[in-house]
A and B are shown apart, each in its own frame.
Chain A
Amino acid sequence: MNIEDWLQKNTFHHGEFSDIRALVSAKEKSGMSISLCIPTLNEEKTIGKEIVILKSELMDRYGLIDELAVIDSGSSDATLEIAAQFGADVYLSADILPEQGFKRGKGENLWKAVHQLRGDVICYVDADIANIHARFVYGLVAPLIQREEIHYVKAFYDRPLAFSQGIRPSGGGRVTEILVRPLFSLFYPDLTAIIQPLSGEYAVRRPVLEAIPFPIGYGVETSHILDVYHKWGLEAFAQTDLDQRVHRNQSTQALGKMSFGILQSFLSRAKAHGIISDFDDVSNLYRAFQVKDHRYEQVLTEIIEEERPPMVAIDEYRKKFGITGS
């Protein structure tokens, strides 16, 4: 499938799926179960509204999702209390698969969710969406309900993103446009058709989730896309326009660190896929500078993109889901 065909056939707008009753009917006919996972770390300002609206609209009024879970990295604020109060299943990432240890990072929560949650499909939604709406979930799971050949549905946001600092043009975020899109253009041109490869909202079938490794940090979305593309091709993807997404803006310095992590994941994948070769191990030190007493000094931050193996390789998971053989 070339980019033009894919854009034509596998790019949707959430408005195509707003008949939730029809989606529920199709879902029930297929026997599919859907879990919603919200990874959190200190999200007390937005988590309550997100859970109240998604539970009310997609569980209480319509049975589109079968499970709503928060997987938390150890919040010190009221995130867990609020989430539980409004009816979410709340898990501490460290309590899931304890024999595998605990690593702090969003990717860790996403990986642990594969073991903890029951659904045939897991829909991940970030916790910091100020304008949360049911479309953030039904827009992503609908292509999986309607089209068997689609395995991984990614969100994109075609409207201008509103920030406290004002309005900026549409398209991917800064890291997408400055780092990921240039890299994809050079090495994986098919993947440039994914408009926002770094968006934190996506729905994925379990057989795909259990078969791919999870970087625990910034690189999880990028590596997912590269791994799914490598194993299943562009046709396994779809993307849905969810219109506007209002969320916190991050500083340029924070985005620098994020880019560093993403680049590490990208290079390891490109090397493994034979896209680049003769590439030695590189430093994990992110180097920035600051001025102190009129002198420049180096600020070193170690950013290691640790990875969790494919969940299907974990014995406890195989036992829980009755997986035998290789």
Chain B
Amino acid sequence: MTIQEIIASLPGARDKLQEIREIIVANAVMISEIPAPTGQERERIEFITSRFQEFGLQNACIDEFGNAQAILPGRAAAHNILVAAHADTVKDEAGFGSAAAVKSDAIDGWGIADNGLGLAALVSLPEILRRLDVTLDSDLILLAQTQSLGRGDLGGIRFFLEHVQLPIVAGICLEGAQLGRLSYSCLGMNRNKIVCEVPAEPTQWQETGSKSALVTMGEILQKLSAIPVPQNPRTTVIIGSMRAGTGYNSPPTRAALRFEVRSEQVGMARQIREQIEEIIDEVSAETGTVTSIEVLARRIPGGIPFSHPLVKATRDIMRGLNITPTFHPSVGDLAALIFKKIPSVTVGISRGLNIHAPTESVEIEPIFSGLAQLVGLLQFIDAHPGQMEPPPTPEGLEYYEGDA
């Protein structure tokens, strides 16, 4: 099947999928309402596994790491294509009090975009292919991976890729939003937490404030912001959050700063983190505070080229469905696949609003384009396994040891 034939079939597929709109929307709503903070995804994973089992997929099970997985067998079983969506959510347990709502044009609900809809696409995929009468030669491995976000550090997908016995020809990572997203490379990244502590001593009121973890963290932050960051290769330091204190009138004895360093170049993120470690040592010594840095997650930069047939096909398929591609490198599950030399992309399923906020929402109509895009991609990989060249080793990586 040529890419032209695939593209020509997609508008029809998109329209046909309207027939199972309620199944897809219901799956998205039900999945997003099951609490799944990172490390506590069990109930959501059981639901997903039961969906796999009900459809009669092979090997539908929960692995040792808590990932849900199943195989939809193809005609020839010559190759294996992985379709993966992370099962954990940014919001914690407390965020699950509010129920989702289905409006005429959108689904509202905290976590519906990241990643309720991505998971709905995953669990609905066997039904989608059945409705479209699409049978692949390849086996499809469906994976809902746990502990992907934040401190989870891609734990689920890393475990799966370390232990899977089947060779994987290509991978597709699913995110609920944004439709048009095309990630084919990943940034080098380290995700860190600095904790600064001062002893809680009774002080004269005149001294109040002099022994404050927050003040010390402020000094660290000031020096951290002054580190020169290269524009090329693109490198950024993202200060994500700072937490300290309980009120107005007592100096905090503990402060925590979370930040990420990202870079396109191997070793750059690590270099910057090492500079930050020096700053911490210096400020600790000057102020007499106990300050430590913990690395919560690391990524090595890499990816497949823009000209890779998988990226080109994804772009062509998107344009065939009037989806405008937007390119941005990933620090998510794609990195684990790229690290394992599996050519892969991450795509979104619909347009989302207010992602990670209680007012999170996804539009319903674009979902069908997002799903048709997924089907087209699977058909392309299935028809052209020989073009699925593995990602090249990033320049400099052969000399590189340690984190990104």
Contacts and interface: CB of A to CB of B under 8 A. Distances in A.
| Co-assembled chains A and B | yes
A6 to B, nearest CB: 34
A45 B101 contact: yes
B100 interface: yes
Contact of A52 (B22, B33, B97): B22
Where chain B touches its partner, the secondary structure class is helix
B26 A53 contact: yes
A46 B101 CA distance: 6
Interface in B22-59: 22-23, 25-27, 29-30, 33, 54
A230 to B, nearest CB: 39
B23 A48 contact: no
A57 interface: yes
B21 interface: yes
Interface in A105-136: 130-131
Given A60-B20, A61-B23, A131 B102 contact: no
Given A56-B22, A56-B27, A49 B101 contact: yes
The residue in B20, B25, B26, B30 that gathers the most chain A C-beta atoms within 10 A of its C-beta is: B26
B100 A49 contact: yes
Interface centre among A48, A60, A81, A131 (most CB of B within 10 A): A48
Interface string B268-279: 000000000000
A160 to B, nearest CB: 14
A82 B99 contact: no
Interface string A148-175: 0000000000000010000000000000
A60 B27 CA distance: 12
B163 interface: no
Nearest to B19: A60
A256 interface: no
Contacts of A78: 103-104
Nearest to A131: B99
B102 A52 contact: yes
Nearest to B105: A85
Contacts of B101: 45-46, 48-49
B29 A53 contact: yes
Contacts of B33: 131
Given A53-B30, A130-B99, A131-B99, A48 B104 contact: yes
Size category of the binding interface on chain B = 10 to 19
Contacts, number: 52
A86 B23 contact: no
B99 A86 contact: no
B20 A86 contact: no
B26 A56 contact: yes
A78 B103 CA distance: 9
Instruction: Please classify the interface of chain A as helix (H, G, I), strand (E, B), loop, or mixed, using the class held by over half of its residues.
Output: helix
Interface string B165-191: 000000000000000000000000000
Contacts of B20: 60
Of the listed residues A46, A56, A162, the one surrounded by the most CB atoms of chain B closer than 10 A to its CB is A56
A78 B29 CA distance: 20
B183 to A, nearest CB: 30
Interface string A54-77: 011100110000000000000000
Contacts of A61: 23, 54
A207 interface: no
Contacts of B29: 49, 52-53
Contacts of A182: none
Contact of A86 (B22, B27, B54, B97): B22
A87 interface: yes
Nearest to B55: A61
A85 B104 contact: yes
A228 interface: no
Contact of B23 (A44, A60, A162): A60
A52 B26 contact: yes
A81 B26 CA distance: 18
A82 B103 contact: yes
For B29, B100, B102, B104, which residue has the most chain A Cβ atoms within 10 angstroms?
B102
Given A48-B102, A130-B99, 5 more contacts: A53-B29, A56-B22, A56-B23, A86-B21, A162-B97
Closest 6 CB pairs of A and B: A48-B102, A56-B26, A49-B102, A130-B99, A56-B22, A56-B23
